[in-house]
Chain A
């Protein structure tokens, strides 16, 4: 059952019973499994079976009752979520301002040097009690709510620690104000600690506020991608052009795209020409020229021309939607490095609670006088300083920033594990055809041998006749050349394909062969010269005599040489794997600066080549296309696939490159190292922070140095720690990638 959920804002509700009515009617609607209508937020949340109903039908039900359903598309949903987060940040800010004000007043009235300057009413301890209670139970009410909810589940969290810590300080102070004689009897001067409880809350709220703001920035990259989807499209229907919402576009629609507009769907150009800026989706920096039959990608920007396109992929099938989905999935995956953290965080809070009890007992039983006061303050300090959040945020925030940054450069990382392995890669093996080269071979030389009367066009005609109907890339090159030269093609009889080597057939009763030089008994001397230039050579002839040579070359990608150079500079080895003979392979390798190559490797054996490199203790990244090279990509430590067309969901690859720019490979490896460095630094600081400061707060340094950590300092440290982890992750955005 395809279950979907949707939130529909509703306008026109004027009482709580309206909400109940809408809810009841929705629940009776077939296909709706749950519906809840909230009067306060003016929204209906509906879980429905998309096979039986859809948002349009659901909103029709709402409108039948006389209310307005403000149906949203997924992008607006993001905006709604963003608004909620923004509101949350404003609330935190207001709470901080209030608690900071109270804290300042209390500190003014109680700090030894300042208290003389405070106005008399401010010194009233009942006023202190009132202000502190306001902060404790109004500003801090979410701490109590969260603590109570988690205790019911027999779990504990950071809020539990803060609640207990501040409540201890608060209750002690209440006791001091209302029953000072009890405190005096214990040998302690009765002195309230309202300033402590209030300042702790103010600082923790400040930390939460800063953290919420910073966390919002970590996922900016994906928000930008989501924002690229246009909301309307200009459709040509019945000869007229109309603007319609993007959700109403169907596959096959013809859409008009004017200069300055974003491409609304994945499609193919029908007419017109233009150049399209694809940089925001694929990271490709140079605008791409498009004319008839070229593919255009959702979210890219049409620059100068007007074109007509036909919609091929819409909604969640577009490349943009796939990219967003992949990035979100990668951000949800778990890095292997995270496993230890998971174990630790499940014990963390209970262990801190036990430590705080121990702290209290030890100070009370063995500490100096006034023992109760020392015991209390140190216990509060332990509870407040412990920061499980920094541990919890260390890996995910860096991962979100890293994968988001990668996506902006056209690098799609499948999961955290791929990213983690990628940072250790020390050998990159490239497939040749379609990876280092464009994958579109063209005929470069046609040489007639042994028979001077045979023209190049006649040779080409012969070759094209033999190759008619073949799908092989080399055959395609010959057929294209024949078409360009407008040579005639003759009928072939007795056609036979000789697997992996070539073809044979009869034309006008003469038997001809076409294929690899090995098929012929004598090989013309020109062959080796051509092969040394990196060209693939096929021969045409009769079984006894070679008639001609056809050389075919595949253009190297312009970025290939630079990319390899960048990898070498990073200290990463490179190699080449190809089905070509060693001479061609060697020529191509040396043209791009690769020294090691594996030639005459059948497609099925590329996987073995990868394993051979792994047997040499190398961490291997294999670069190839996602379809033919899938086994080799899967065998490699990290498979890097070049996306073909608008399909980017490559199952076999850990990393998919959206654009054809090979320099993104060194970039991807660099980014993975930077991300892992950030994760490790975050984890180190988060661990070190807790391991060092919890004992200090407990007072282990006191016997030697008389150093104790006041609870207020503890809360300042705690607020800083999680913010600094997030800030460190955000620093990833600043790394120099080029």
Chain B
């Protein structure tokens, strides 16, 4: 096997490792507990994890600045919330989560994900 092929093989293994690390490795959850959060919706949700206290009203304000139509709907299945996110228009959701747990949310096509953690 020629040298270029060996180099390609080795670097592709490295690249696969990088892809795994970049997208799939678990990142430590050090987000602080908040009762209000501004979540920017652009190529995903930032921050994607919001930690909130159980039993207290919390306000999450979503603002979409990304024209990708995939993100135009926000769905929080466990709370039965489905909202349109008009471009550049903040949408404030006031929630009181009565049970601790993870409440995932995603876009209309289930491509981008985020979660609210109630503790």
Interface residue ranges, A against B (CB under 8 Å): 1-5, 7, 33-34, 36, 38, 41, 43, 45, 47, 81, 84, 88, 142, 145-159, 208, 212, 328-334, 338, 341-342, 345-347, 349-350, 353-354, 357-358, 360-361, 364-365, 388-389, 391-393, 396, 415
Contacts and interface: CB of A to CB of B under 8 A. Distances in A.
Contact of B82 (A36, A332, A391): A332
A43 B90 CA distance: 12
B84 A81 contact: yes
A361 B8 contact: yes
B107 to A, nearest CB: 8
Main secondary structure of the interface of B (DSSP, over half): mixed
B94 A1 contact: yes
B68 A155 contact: no
Contacts of A158: 70, 111
Contacts of B59: 1, 3
A334 B78 contact: yes
A149 B110 CA distance: 17
Most chain A CB inside 10 Å of its own CB: which residue of B19, B43, B66, B81? B43
Contacts of A88: 67, 69
A149 B66 CA distance: 8
B61 A34 contact: yes
B31 interface: no
**4 closest cross-chain pairs (CB), A and B:** A149-B43, A332-B82, A334-B77, A150-B43
10 contacts: A5-B90, A5-B91, A7-B89, A38-B88, A149-B42, A155-B23, A157-B111, A345-B110, A357-B16, A365-B8
The interface size bin for chain B is: 35 or more
A154 B90 CA distance: 23
B43 A357 contact: no
A153 B61 contact: no
Contacts of B78: 334
Contacts of A360: 8, 12
Given A2-B94, A149-B42, A149-B43, A84 B86 contact: yes
A655 to B, nearest CB: 15
Nearest to B108: A396
Given A1-B59, A34-B90, A36-B90, A153 B16 contact: no
A350 B88 contact: no
Nearest to B2: A365
A330 B80 contact: yes
Interface in B14-58: 15-16, 19-20, 22-24, 27, 42-46, 48, 57
A349 B88 CA distance: 27
A158 B110 CA distance: 11
Given A47-B61, A149-B44, A389 B5 contact: no
A692 to B, nearest CB: 21
B109 A389 contact: yes
B23 A156 contact: yes
Nearest to B111: A157
B15 A357 contact: yes
B110 A342 contact: yes
Contact of B68 (A146, A151, A333): A146
Nearest to A415: B80
Given A330-B80, A345-B110, A357-B16, A145 B67 contact: yes
Contact of B19 (A4, A345, A354): A354
A40 B91 CA distance: 19
B117 interface: no
Given A148-B43, A149-B66, A365 B1 contact: yes
Interface in B55-102: 57, 59, 61, 66-70, 75-78, 80-82, 84, 86-92, 94
B108 A364 contact: no
A90 to B, nearest CB: 13
Contacts of A150: 43-44, 112
B20 A350 contact: yes
Most chain A CB inside 10 Å of its own CB: which residue of B9, B69, B84, B108? B69
A354 B15 CA distance: 8
A353 B15 CA distance: 10
Contacts of B112: 150, 155, 157
Contacts of A353: 19, 23
B27 to A, nearest CB: 8
Contacts of A149: 42-44, 66, 68
Most chain B CB inside 10 Å of its own CB: which residue of A43, A330, A346, A415? A346
Given A155-B43, A158-B111, 9 more contacts: A88-B69, A149-B68, A153-B45, A155-B112, A159-B68, A329-B80, A329-B82, A357-B19, A360-B12
Nearest to A391: B110
A350 B70 CA distance: 18
Nearest to B46: A153
A317 to B, nearest CB: 19
A154 B57 contact: no
A167 B89 CA distance: 32
Contacts of B106: 342
A346 B43 contact: no
B57 to A, nearest CB: 7
A109 B67 CA distance: 34
A332 B89 CA distance: 21
Contact of B16 (A345, A354, A392): A354
A33 B82 contact: no
A249 to B, nearest CB: 26
Contacts of A391: 110
Nearest to B45: A153
A346 B27 CA distance: 15
A15 to B, nearest CB: 19
B19 A350 contact: yes
Contacts of A357: 12, 15-16, 19
Contacts of A332: 75-77, 80-82
A155 B61 CA distance: 21
Contacts of A3: 59, 92, 94
A358 B42 contact: no
Nearest to B113: A346
Most chain A CB inside 10 Å of its own CB: which residue of B16, B22, B23, B24? B23
Nearest to B59: A3
A667 B97 CA distance: 36
Contacts of A147: 43
A84 B84 CA distance: 12
A47 B59 CA distance: 11
B92 A5 contact: yes
A150 B71 CA distance: 11
B66 A145 contact: yes
Given A5-B89, A84-B87, A333 B77 contact: yes
A152 B43 contact: yes
Contacts of B5: 364-365
A393 B110 CA distance: 8
Nearest to B75: A332
